[in-house]
Amino acid sequence: MKKLTFTFFLIMTSFLSLSKAQVGGNQIYRDKNNYDNSLSKNLPEFNNTNSYFATDSTLVVNVKVLMNKNADRYKLTLGLNEEAETPKIAIENINRRINGFIKRLSSMGVKSDDIFVDFISQTKIYDYNINKDSQTVVQKMEGFETKKNVIITVNKHSMIEKLISEASDFQIYDVIKVDYINSDIDHIQEDLLKEAYKVFEKKKENYFNLFKKEIIGSPTATSGFTYIFPKSQYQNYTAYESAYVTYQSDSRYIKKEERKSKTFYYDGTDYTGFDKVIHNADPEVGIQYIMNLNVKYDLKKNKGK
């Protein structure tokens, strides 16, 4: 009877975690094969995924906890380039734009310590002279191109769009990336381990209350901690329905396709299989932290009849 009760408990736990209703939305148009493959690359690899693994002499209790955490700081990287006849003119012109932008940032309250200008490259630009009379094409050097990145750190997500808007006044349009940063990783790891331990205590109590096993010696434990940044969690799809046209072999019509807009959206780690998810209702995109705790017990074997 105890075994049946325990089995029923596991089945109901699994059913409840999977039975929450979901509205599909237009994301159902995504390529599911590509989605599954890309998502699997981002997830941490844990050896044990079952809640319990037990034999007549061993018990392993597994706990997986996920925390959604908003970033403390954001690092925005903007790119710009300048073309000119000589490297000196290109550098002078690009620096003029950057200095104007930095001055604007200062007026917005961004400190100089939170701004860094990264020199990326300086390259020659080539073009072609086409002589129609001799039907020759001759390559020539047209000038030089200088590229730099401006890296800015802010502590409010709302500042990112303001910075991008102000940058456009200085012909800075390339938004390269936004990095999400949490300052105290050690503290987050410690809190997440405590949460995992609370879940473990409940699982352990449930098991031994049901099976009345006797522990031999001291348990051994292992834990794994990892985090996933938003940049690897975005998916995309193109949602549309289109008619099909059949052409005759002698048709002179040209088929022109309309541009279909592609939608990108944040799709974090699937909550399936986790014992606890912290801040699962927070809509803000942040960093996902995962703690895996495994505890192994040696058990006294039951005496045979």
Quickly list DSSP for 156-198.
-THHHHHHHHHHGGGT--EEEEEEEE-S-HHHHHHHHHHHHHH
Q: Which residue do the tokens 């890309």 mark?
A: 38
Residue by residue, DSSP assigns 16-61 as HHH------GGGGGS-HHHHHHHHHHHS---S--SSEEE-SSEEEE
Asked whether the beta carbons of 140 and 180 are under 8 A apart, the reply is no
φ, ψ for residue 197, nearest 5 deg:
-65, -35
> Cα–Cα distance between 127 and 87 in angstroms, integer?
17
pLDDT bin (cut points 50, 70, 90) of residue 14 is very low
Query: 0.75 exceeded by the pTM?
Result: yes
> Cα–Cα distance between 229 and 149 in angstroms, integer?
22
- In this predicted structure, the answer to whether residue 39 has a pLDDT above a threshold of 80 is no
State pLDDT tens for residues 242-260: 887 777 777 777 788 888 8
11 three-state secondary structure: helix
Domain boundaries, given as residue ranges, for the chain: 2-8+18-71+184-299, 73-181
Residues contacting 186, CB < 8 A, separation 6+: none
Token pair listed for 229 = 């940044």
In CATH, what is the architecture of 73-181? 2-Layer Sandwich (3.30)
State pLDDT tens for residues 43-86: 444 444 568 888 889 999 999 999 999 999 999 999 999 999 99
244 three-state secondary structure: coil
> Cα–Cα distance between 12 and 137 in angstroms, integer?
75
Name the nearest CA neighbour of 58 among 305, 298, 303, 300: 298
Token pair listed for 162 = 């303001």
